[in-house]
Amino acid sequence: MGNDFRRKTDTLPTCMNCGSVLYGGFCSHCGQKSTEEITLQRWGSELRRRVLHLEDPWLRTAIELTRSPGKMIRGYLRGRRLPYVGPLAYSVATATLLAVSLLWWSFDLSSPITPWGSQRAAEPSPPTFAFACFSMLWVSALVAWLQRSLFRQARYNVTQTWVFDLYVFGHLAILQTIFAGLGAFASNVGLVALAAALILGLTTALGSFYRRPLWTTLPAALILGTVYIAGIFTSAALFRKLI
Ligand SMILES: [Zn+2]
């Protein structure tokens, strides 16, 4: 056991990562949690604790984004970071979920009102779909820039607004995954219902974040939602032309 730092001192516990002496549950030098031997019981109780007490950052982020998106994101921007997954990680994970579920379960995506219509031959290739899902990252930056000018008096800068958009569009990707599973991408009615759900989700999130009544954020949600969807399709179309 060459790198067993516990051997350095006989009396004081030390960090198993960097070897500093530990005062409390976390290393004051590198931040690693004081480690314990791995056993199945410990894993079991850790999992129970995380799920029942919402200590898992993924679960907590997803639940709070559903319950009160504005409060959660404002808290994150003010500096309450530890309980949550970061905006980039959250949106990459949900984009992956959407891309994998679309490709893996090969959901029917043949609605006539999509750019490729009902002709399966004209349907974009799997890499294009995956690219479209991940386009969320940069298209949301464009939306953030626009949103910043629509809500200028709120005093959030473009990057802070982008944090909001990464969380919200990331969270809405979960909604898209559920709708895709229910077959929404195969019919016009399904796609219209999905679009309505997305606009409603965005309206609610904007109202909650800027503390405004929903009727005032609906026009902004319509503009931003349209730019977002157009951005995703344009991004995918450009990618398709390039490869
Ligand atoms: Zn350490």
- 75-98 pLDDT per residue, tens: 999 999 999 999 999 999 999 999
Share of the chain above pLDDT 70, in %: 91
In a domain, 35, yes or no: no
The mean pLDDT of 100-114, rounded to a whole number, is: 76
Is the whole model's pTM more than 0.85, yes or no?
no
In a domain, 11, yes or no: no
Return the closest-CA partner of residue 168 out of 63, 82, 91. 91
- If you measure from the C-alpha of residue 31 to the centroid of ligand 1, how many angstroms do you get, rounded to a whole number? 6
Residue 23 is predicted with a pLDDT of 87
User: Binning pLDDT at 50, 70 and 90, where does residue 1 land?
Assistant: very low
User: Binning pLDDT at 50, 70 and 90, where does residue 205 land?
Assistant: very high
In a domain, 20, yes or no: no
How far apart, in whole angstroms, are the C-alpha atoms of residue 157 and residue 145?
9
The total domain count for the chain is 1
In a domain, 210, yes or no: yes
- If you measure from the C-alpha of residue 2 to the centroid of ligand 1, how many angstroms do you get, rounded to a whole number? 17
Residue 10 is predicted with a pLDDT of 60
Residue 5 is predicted with a pLDDT of 55
How far apart, in whole angstroms, are the C-alpha atoms of residue 196 and residue 157?
28
- If you measure from the C-alpha of residue 24 to the centroid of ligand 1, how many angstroms do you get, rounded to a whole number? 12
> What confidence tens digit (pLDDT) does each residue in 41-84 have?
888 888 888 777 777 899 999 999 999 999 999 999 999 999 99
Residue 131 is predicted with a pLDDT of 86
In a domain, 166, yes or no: yes
In a domain, 149, yes or no: yes
Given a cut of 70, whether residue 118 has pLDDT beyond it is no
Given a cut of 70, whether residue 159 has pLDDT beyond it is yes
In a domain, 17, yes or no: no
Residue found by looking up tokens 């479209």 in the block: 132
Residue 120 sits in which domain range?
55-242
- If you measure from the C-alpha of residue 30 to the centroid of ligand 1, how many angstroms do you get, rounded to a whole number? 4
How far apart, in whole angstroms, are the C-alpha atoms of residue 70 and residue 165?
11
Tell me which of 6-20, 174-188, 221-235 is least confident.
Answer: 6-20
Q: By the 8 A CB rule, do 206 and 220 touch?
A: yes
- Using only the alpha carbons of the chain, give its radius of gyration: 22
Q: Higher pLDDT residue, 102 or 231?
A: 231
How far apart, in whole angstroms, are the C-alpha atoms of residue 203 and residue 243?
36
- If you measure from the C-alpha of residue 23 to the centroid of ligand 1, how many angstroms do you get, rounded to a whole number? 11
- If you measure from the C-alpha of residue 83 to the centroid of ligand 1, how many angstroms do you get, rounded to a whole number? 21
The mean pLDDT of 21-46, rounded to a whole number, is: 86
- If you measure from the C-alpha of residue 56 to the centroid of ligand 1, how many angstroms do you get, rounded to a whole number? 22
Instruction: Spell out the alpha helix ranges (H) of 107-187.
Output: 126-134, 136-150, 158-181
- If you measure from the C-alpha of residue 97 to the centroid of ligand 1, how many angstroms do you get, rounded to a whole number? 34
Which pair of structure tokens corresponds to residue 88? 């980039």
- If you measure from the C-alpha of residue 15 to the centroid of ligand 1, how many angstroms do you get, rounded to a whole number? 5
Query: Please, what is the average pLDDT of the chain?
Result: 87
